[in-house]
Structure 1
């Protein structure tokens, strides 16, 4: 009984076509340059696209892969600020007119022939100053609510809506929310206390931003940016 040749002591048939790892078998050519070598691991199932690599694929759009949002131009921003200023100017004028009319009405009630005429006039002047202070306080509250509610809920004030821009969070592209909206409001508001110079510098600060997002100081503090719709 023969157990096979010395090179095949168990008598099992050799399969010269069986693929393996390492160097190609005798008689098989080496893959030419540019030809794709078969990979290791499990074969790809039919109909399943080959994997491109490790990690999660980039998602198109903002804020993942693909084109990012269009940064709003400074011209549009100043246009939005001008529109909002006109809106506030109308509100301020209306409130001031009501307050001044009431104060002058009190002054007209003073009798020039009365002994206490000077006292009456002084009281009327104090009334005018108090009503102007009330107008400024009311206007500040309206400005706070206007900025907070509009930016938090819509990402834009009336001026921004008119020129087609809005405020978004840098990391998500979503609406800023109340916290970020408050930060964006309070920084230029505090700056305006220095004769308006601080607020002007805040609104001009996007010109000095080197990130490519044209963020103002208030945007950097709030982690927001202004984009074009």
Structure 2
């Protein structure tokens, strides 16, 4: 009996001494030895997905394009980073500062007329003539009437009388819709409740924040409610 061992054996036996499998028998798992597409015991993906094209996901002009490449405002107001769409895409232009100021002046006058009359009459008749009411009472009337006025009109159409005259509208920043009840309430409260004690100073602060804010021209009340004011044709 010959002592020679039969050659060949299994082509997948572990090679020893640095030997490699025969060239006509590739190692298991594909040419790269790590799986169907290499890079690990199961490869880069179980379905052999092709590598992404150059130039980032989707390539130049593809569906994976960063939406903020075309965002003229350059940032996401909610801090979502470069993955969220531009909130103002498809929205009308933001309102001009001058028109916003005029609209606010009109609304303040509308609120102050009944507030002043109620304040004036709150003490009643003294010495055969009306006397001005106490300033605290007038502040309560101003804050209360202003809140109700702003809330109801903003929730209904996004337009107060002043905004309608200036062809402006309050809108939700994320989708341009008429402000929700919660947003309208927050907006009205931040705008009018501080008018209880310091209406002149407070509205000046509101106006300054609208003028200096970038990129959405939001006053303090807009930021609190996540709204913007845009131009409209009606």
TM-score (normalised: structure 1) = 0.55
What is the rounded CA distance, in whole Å, between the counterparts of 1:92 and 1:195 in structure 2?
12
What is the rounded CA distance, in whole Å, between the counterparts of 1:82 and 1:217 in structure 2?
17
The residue aligned with 1:74 is: 97
Aligned positions of 1:137-176 closer than 5 A:
137-176=140-179
The residue aligned with 1:33 is: none
Alignment length, in residue pairs? 153
The residue aligned with 1:35 is: none
The residue aligned with 2:221 is: 218
1:97: how far off? 4.3
1:54: how far off? 4.9
What is the rounded CA distance, in whole Å, between the counterparts of 2:88 and 2:125 in structure 1?
62
The residue aligned with 1:185 is: 188
1:95 corresponds to 2:118: yes
Structure 1 residues 145, 53: closer, same or farther in 2, change over 3 A? same
1:199 corresponds to 2:199: no
Could you list the per-position Cα deviations for residues 62-106 of structure 1 after superposition, in whole angstroms to 9, with x for gaps in the alignment?
978964321100111111111112212321343244435x332xx
What is the rounded CA distance, in whole Å, between the counterparts of 2:125 and 2:110 in structure 1?
25
8 Å CA contact 1:183–1:222 kept in 2: the answer is: yes
Bigger Rg over Cα: 1
What is the rounded CA distance, in whole Å, between the counterparts of 1:88 and 1:195 in structure 2?
12
Structure number with higher relative contact order (C-alpha < 8 Å, ≥ 6 residues apart): 1
TM-score (normalised: structure 2) = 0.54
1:218: how far off? 1.7
Pick the aligned partner of 2:108 from 65, 82, 85: 85
In structure 1, stretches of 5+ residues that fail to align are 1-51, 109-123
What is the rounded CA distance, in whole Å, between the counterparts of 1:71 and 1:64 in structure 2?
12
